[in-house]
Amino acid sequence: KKPTVTAAAYTESVAGAKSTKLFDIDTGLDVLVFQDPPNDGTLQTIGPLGVDFGPQTGFDILTDPNGVNRAFAASGSVLYTIDLLSGKATRVGPIGNGSLRLVGLAVAPG
């Protein structure tokens, strides 16, 4: 089956970063993939999300000052954390009252 990448996020996506990695969510196969090199590389499967993500999925990675990456995804009205080592999605809970349908996601430090 062909990949269906509908969401992508970079690690260390800040000015002055020495390196960055590009991760994608493939909603056709419901897997997390790593794109190497970023922008025009080959997709490498990390692992199954364990959740049926819809085609309108938001995804972002927050890198803290210590270099720790935390990945988040939104599908429909549900927020998930994503384990970048295994691909596993863990449900955090509904966003808002649960009726909101998100098509994008940006995570801000704070």
User: For the segment 38-61, what is each residue's pLDDT rounded down to a tens digit?
Assistant: 877 799 999 999 999 988 899 999
How buried is 32 (Cβ within 10 angstroms: 0-12 exposed, 13-18 middle, 19+ buried)?
A: buried
What span, in angstroms and rounded, lies between the C-alpha atoms of 107 and 75?
A: 15
What span, in angstroms and rounded, lies between the C-alpha atoms of 75 and 56?
A: 7
- Most confidently modeled of 9-13, 16-20, 82-86, 98-102? 82-86
Residue spans of alpha helices (H) in the chain? none
Model confidence pLDDT, tens digit, residues 63-94: 888 889 999 999 988 999 999 999 999 999 99
Q: With 80 as the cut, is the pLDDT of residue 6 above it?
A: yes
Task: Please choose, from the candidates 55, 39, 68, the residue with its C-alpha nearest in 3D space to the C-alpha of residue 4.
Answer: 55
Residue-level pLDDT at 56: 86
Task: Please choose, from the candidates 43, 12, 9, the residue with its C-alpha nearest in 3D space to the C-alpha of residue 28.
Answer: 43
